Structure 1
Amino acid sequence: MKKEALVLLPGTLCDERLWEHQLEHLTDVSDPSVSMLTEEDTIEGMAESVLKHAPERFALAGLSLGGIVAMEVIRRAPERVTRLALLDSNPHGPKQEQLEGWKDLISKVESGEFQSIVEEKLLPNLIHPSRQEERDLVSTIRDMAEKIGPEVYVQQLRAVSTRSDLREVLREINVPTLLLVGRDDQVCPLSLHEEMQESISESRLVVVNHCGHLSSLEQPEEVTAALRNWLME
């Protein structure tokens, strides 16, 4: 029997390594691939790129920025998405203070402060406090950021600045939907996912303990198990 195509969308400054465990351990129930979000500087453009390269029908999972793009994908082409997983994501439009913060970050990156931003602003907020000293985990996050690089980071910051408020889109979703969040996610907190659960009729919420924002890296076995259950619904 042909396996269902599964398109995985990474977050900001992340590459396919964000989904390494899932790519390895979900091949028996799906045909997984990663669609990188590194070519466009708007959420709409990223969504169109995903649709251009995706199979005609596919399951879709996105984390953080990837989740925002996933919501835009299903808004544009609901007939192509068979099931949806939103991990550590946010359906709201940007607040004024966020827009100002991203503008400031762009200015600092363009002034050569990319590495200090990764170390001082991103790493402390992306993973659970208890994981900050885990060499392999932190090294992977640093390496992903270095590979993506400052120019693409600026593009991704500009993209999130263009995002729409997608909360009304959620009410139209009628495919099996997994909402997953690290209990200690400081970037896209649990409350956002509880709000999304109220809006999506066929949704299930999974909260991962001892976990921050990068759930698929921090607690890969639990995230893979949740995605497996979702794929088999």
Structure 2
Amino acid sequence: MADCIRSMPVVLLPGMLCDARLWRHQVAALSGTATVQAGSVAGAITVNALAQTLLSLCPQRFALGGFSMGGIVALEMLRIAPERIAGLALVDTNCWADTAERAAMREAQVELVRGGGLCGLVREQLMPNYLADVNAENPGLQQEIESMAMSAGALTFVQQALALGTRADSLELLQKFKGPSLVLCGAEDKLCPPEGHREMAAALEDSSLHIIDGAGHFAPLERPAIVNSAMLDWVRQVQQKESEQ
């Protein structure tokens, strides 16, 4: 039984314009405790379609973590197949439906990117909101984030922007989830502020809340050791609960 629980997969979803590199520190840290795989939130223009595709590729039961847009897709997966999700980690994300303000902003960004402006968008509009003040001039972090964005490309950005507009409000969904949950964000996250994470953690029955100093929106890359520790604790809690059932 212990070997079965140990092998229960952990699926981690990256955010908009990100790939598996977003989770590289966490994958390495968790690999001795569980089998870990990184999914993709690219290739469809609705959150539901992304969730359905991922569920078709995932094991029958697994622990699920999502960063930013990945958290939004993770919540849709939970909505569709709650019986398959053993634990939930929400990292630098939110659970609310789209707002008119953000929809208008993304519409303008889509037009810019369709005109060949993806690099300019990342450098001039997105990057200033991504990192904590202490990391704002870190060229290595900036290069890694920009490299993921350029690898994703303009078509992926457009698809993801359209998909984000289709998300549903999920606060009541969180209130129904009973599994071990991790809610984590950077203390300086401008895109998904700590206040929202506190509300999500309060809605969950069995949650652990971590607000990470010295991190902005990209906590898994900005403060990997702290995020690793929190995620290891979460995975062990999931494994323990599964072993008791």
Query: Equivalent of 2:93, from 89, 92, 107?
Result: 89
2:29 and 2:232 in contact (8 A); partners too: no
Residue 30 of structure 1 is matched in structure 2 by: 34
Partners of 1:213 and 1:185 lie apart in 2 by 4
2:207 paired with 1:203:
yes
Residue 135 of structure 2 is matched in structure 1 by: 131
2:81 paired with 1:73:
no
Shift of 1:168: 1.4
Query: Equivalent of 1:159, from 160, 163, 178?
Result: 163
Residue 60 of structure 1 is matched in structure 2 by: 64
Superposition CA RMSD, Å: 0.8
Residue 103 of structure 1 is matched in structure 2 by: 107
Query: Deviation digits for residues 15-38 of structure 1, max 9, x if unmatched?
Result: 110000111111111100011111
Query: Deviation digits for residues 51-79 of structure 1, max 9, x if unmatched?
Result: 01000100000000000111111111010
Question: Which one is further off, 195-204 or 140-149?
Answer: 195-204
Shift of 1:137: 1.0
1:189-200 → structure 2 map (5 Å cutoff):
189-200=193-204
Partners of 1:119 and 1:137 lie apart in 2 by 12
Residue 236 of structure 2 is matched in structure 1 by: 232
Partners of 1:126 and 1:135 lie apart in 2 by 13
Partners of 2:199 and 2:190 lie apart in 1 by 16
Amino acid paired to 1:25: A
Unaligned runs of 5+ residues in structure 1 are none
Shift of 1:40: 1.0
Query: Deviation digits for residues 183-208 of structure 1, max 9, x if unmatched?
Result: 00000000001111121111110111
Shift of 1:182: 0.4
1:137 and 1:217 in contact (8 A); partners too: yes
1:62 and 1:69 in contact (8 A); partners too: yes
Partners of 1:134 and 1:88 lie apart in 2 by 20
Partners of 1:159 and 1:8 lie apart in 2 by 19
Residue 11 of structure 2 is matched in structure 1 by: 7
Partners of 2:221 and 2:116 lie apart in 1 by 28
Report the number of matched residues: 233
Q: Secondary structure at the match of 1:30?
A: coil
Q: Secondary structure at the match of 2:63?
A: strand
Residue 240 of structure 2 is matched in structure 1 by: none
1:183 and 1:209 in contact (8 A); partners too: yes
Shift of 1:130: 1.7
Shift of 1:141: 0.5
TM-score (norm 1): 0.98
Question: Which one is further off, 109-118 or 180-189?
Answer: 109-118
2:13 and 2:65 in contact (8 A); partners too: yes
Determine what percentage of the aligned residue pairs are the same residue: 36
Residue 120 of structure 2 is matched in structure 1 by: 116
Moved over 2 A (4+): none
Amino acid paired to 2:116: G
2:198 paired with 1:220:
no
Amino acid paired to 1:17: R
Shift of 1:156: 0.5
Amino acid paired to 1:44: N
